[in-house]
Amino acid sequence: MQLEIITPDRKVFSGEATSVTFPGIEGQFQVLNGHAPLVSTLSRGPVTIVTNGGQQSFTVDGGVVEVLNNRVLVLAEAVV
Protein backbone atom coordinates (compact mmCIF):
# COMPACT_ATOMS: atom_id res chain seq x y z
CA MET A 1 0.00 0.00 0.00
CA GLN A 2 1.10 3.57 -0.61
CA LEU A 3 1.67 5.58 2.59
CA GLU A 4 2.14 9.33 3.01
CA ILE A 5 2.72 11.14 6.30
CA ILE A 6 2.35 14.91 5.99
CA THR A 7 2.58 17.75 8.52
CA PRO A 8 1.63 21.39 7.85
CA ASP A 9 5.25 22.21 7.00
CA ARG A 10 6.73 19.08 5.36
CA LYS A 11 6.27 15.57 3.95
CA VAL A 12 7.69 13.17 6.54
CA PHE A 13 7.30 9.86 4.68
CA SER A 14 6.18 8.72 1.25
CA GLY A 15 6.52 5.15 0.02
CA GLU A 16 5.30 1.57 0.02
CA ALA A 17 4.43 -0.16 3.30
CA THR A 18 3.23 -3.66 4.16
CA SER A 19 1.67 -2.62 7.49
CA VAL A 20 1.27 0.51 9.60
CA THR A 21 0.35 0.73 13.30
CA PHE A 22 -1.33 3.92 14.55
CA PRO A 23 -2.05 5.48 17.96
CA GLY A 24 -5.84 5.88 17.74
CA ILE A 25 -7.84 7.90 20.24
CA GLU A 26 -9.33 4.68 21.64
CA GLY A 27 -6.19 2.54 21.31
CA GLN A 28 -3.68 1.24 18.79
CA PHE A 29 -4.82 -0.16 15.45
CA GLN A 30 -3.05 -1.63 12.44
CA VAL A 31 -3.67 -1.22 8.71
CA LEU A 32 -2.58 -3.93 6.25
CA ASN A 33 -2.74 -4.20 2.45
CA GLY A 34 -6.33 -4.33 1.23
CA HIS A 35 -7.75 -2.76 4.40
CA ALA A 36 -11.35 -1.55 4.33
CA PRO A 37 -11.83 2.22 3.90
CA LEU A 38 -11.66 4.20 7.14
CA VAL A 39 -11.07 7.64 8.61
CA SER A 40 -9.81 7.95 12.18
CA THR A 41 -8.35 10.54 14.53
CA LEU A 42 -4.93 9.97 16.03
CA SER A 43 -3.62 10.75 19.48
CA ARG A 44 -0.01 11.46 20.38
CA GLY A 45 2.10 8.33 19.93
CA PRO A 46 4.18 6.21 17.59
CA VAL A 47 3.31 5.42 13.99
CA THR A 48 5.19 2.22 13.15
CA ILE A 49 5.76 1.45 9.47
CA VAL A 50 6.83 -1.97 8.20
CA THR A 51 8.30 -2.08 4.69
CA ASN A 52 10.16 -4.74 2.70
CA GLY A 53 13.36 -3.02 3.87
CA GLY A 54 12.59 -3.07 7.59
CA GLN A 55 10.75 -1.05 10.19
CA GLN A 56 10.55 2.70 10.89
CA SER A 57 8.78 4.68 13.59
CA PHE A 58 7.66 8.32 13.90
CA THR A 59 5.95 9.97 16.88
CA VAL A 60 2.95 12.03 15.82
CA ASP A 61 1.34 14.71 17.96
CA GLY A 62 -2.23 13.95 16.91
CA GLY A 63 -3.88 14.13 13.51
CA VAL A 64 -6.10 12.21 11.11
CA VAL A 65 -5.58 9.08 8.99
CA GLU A 66 -7.54 8.12 5.87
CA VAL A 67 -7.40 4.65 4.27
CA LEU A 68 -8.91 4.29 0.80
CA ASN A 69 -8.08 1.99 -2.15
CA ASN A 70 -4.76 0.77 -0.69
CA ARG A 71 -3.60 4.36 -0.08
CA VAL A 72 -3.00 5.63 3.44
CA LEU A 73 -2.79 9.36 4.07
CA VAL A 74 -1.75 10.68 7.49
CA LEU A 75 -2.29 14.38 8.18
CA ALA A 76 -0.30 14.85 11.40
CA GLU A 77 -0.38 18.00 13.50
CA ALA A 78 3.35 17.54 14.11
CA VAL A 79 6.02 14.84 14.10
CA VAL A 80 8.23 15.06 17.20
Return d(Cα 75, Cα 64) in angstroms, integer. 5
2-76 topology per CATH? ATP Synthase; domain 1 (2.60.15)
**Is the pTM for the entire model greater than 0.85?**
yes
Q: What is the pLDDT of residues 37-70, one digit of tens each?
A: 999 999 999 999 999 999 999 999 999 999 999 9
Confidence of residue 14 (pLDDT cuts 50, 70, 90): very high
Return d(Cα 22, Cα 5) in angstroms, integer. 12
- Domain range annotation of the chain: 2-76
pLDDT reported for residue 1: 97
pLDDT reported for residue 13: 97
